[in-house]
Amino acid sequence: MSLPLIDIGINLEHASYDPDRAAVIERARAAGIVAMIVTGSTLASSARALELCRQWPELLRATAGVHPHHAAELVAADLERLAAMFADPFNVAAGECGLDYCRNYSPPEAQRRAFAWQLELAARHRRPVFLHEREAHADFTAILRDWLPGIPRAVLHCFTGTAAELEACLAAGLSIGITGWICDERRGTGLRSIVDRIPDDRLMIETDGPYLLPRTITPKPPHRRNEPMYLPAVLAAVAEARQQEPAEVARITTDNAMRFFGIKNLISSSRIIPN
């Protein structure tokens, strides 16, 4: 029997899912996925994410925001459109927003400006925030610190940082999202060594599909596209690294996601592992 899971970060509006999106969703259901948070990364993708929620209202909710890769595209006039998306009943958080100095697809100064704008907007509208940070910890925490008091909740998705960075994020009150990065025998060693430092009530799991296909899947899929049906592989790796039973990690991460995104009413109690 599948363990009920929530994928807190899936780019389901991505074009790679266009040929078989309905099948992707049915495979997710079969794998025990009881809810998915569709991640907005531009104004256009945020709008598409909300439209997908209208097609599958019993399963999907969405964030709305501008990823740091697209920060240079965001202008002040766009903030009204973002605010309107926050008011949509299918929206559960602001984001994905933050800083990414790994690739710098947008100049760092544009990233910092867009990040601050979105945090200010989230604080004004009292929205939880779905965060992104890569190789930008100092600037990320400095900007975030100014706005956190006005933001109800924040999760740093796809955490891949150091032990010191994890401790700083936890001290700031952030929840932490773990992806298939933890399944990578090459890059995931550091994450596996520190994931047990995340308190039970701050831990969530995600695929970040179509990216970060877990490398522990056997037999290996004939493609590299990740999708929610593979979330159990992330669960298994997290449980092993934390020396917890998979059912316990499933229970705590599902409960945390329901509480964080305010989606307890979305999910039938009969599908959730009892305490």
Question: 154 to each of 32, 209, 217, 228, how far by Cα in Å?
Answer: 25, 21, 30, 22
pLDDT of residue 3: 87
Q: Give tens-digit pLDDT for 26-79.
A: 999 999 999 999 999 999 999 999 999 999 999 999 999 999 999 999 999 999
Q: What is the CATH number of domain 5-271?
A: 3.20.20.140
Strand partners, 63: 93
pLDDT of residue 100: 98
Q: Which residue has the higher pLDDT, 222 or 159?
A: 159
Is cis: bond before 149, omega within 30 of 0? no
pLDDT of residue 270: 35
Task: Give the separation between CA 59 and CA 236, rounded to whole angstroms.
Answer: 23
Contact 91, 81 (CB under 8 A): no
Q: How many residues does the chain have?
A: 275
Element (H, E) at 254: helix 246-261
Is the pLDDT at 1 greater than 70, yes or no?
A: no
Assign residue 156 a region (left: φ > 0; alpha: ψ between -120 and 50; beta: otherwise): beta
pLDDT of residue 267: 75
Q: Give tens-digit pLDDT for 208-265.
A: 999 999 999 999 998 899 999 999 999 999 999 999 999 999 999 999 999 999 999 8
Reported confidence tier of residue 266, pLDDT bands at 50, 70, 90? confident
Is the pLDDT at 171 greater than 70, yes or no?
A: yes
Task: Give the separation between CA 274 and CA 258, rounded to whole angstroms.
Answer: 14
Write down the domain spans for the chain: 5-271
Q: Give tens-digit pLDDT for 104-158.
A: 899 999 999 999 999 999 999 999 999 999 999 999 999 999 999 999 999 999 9
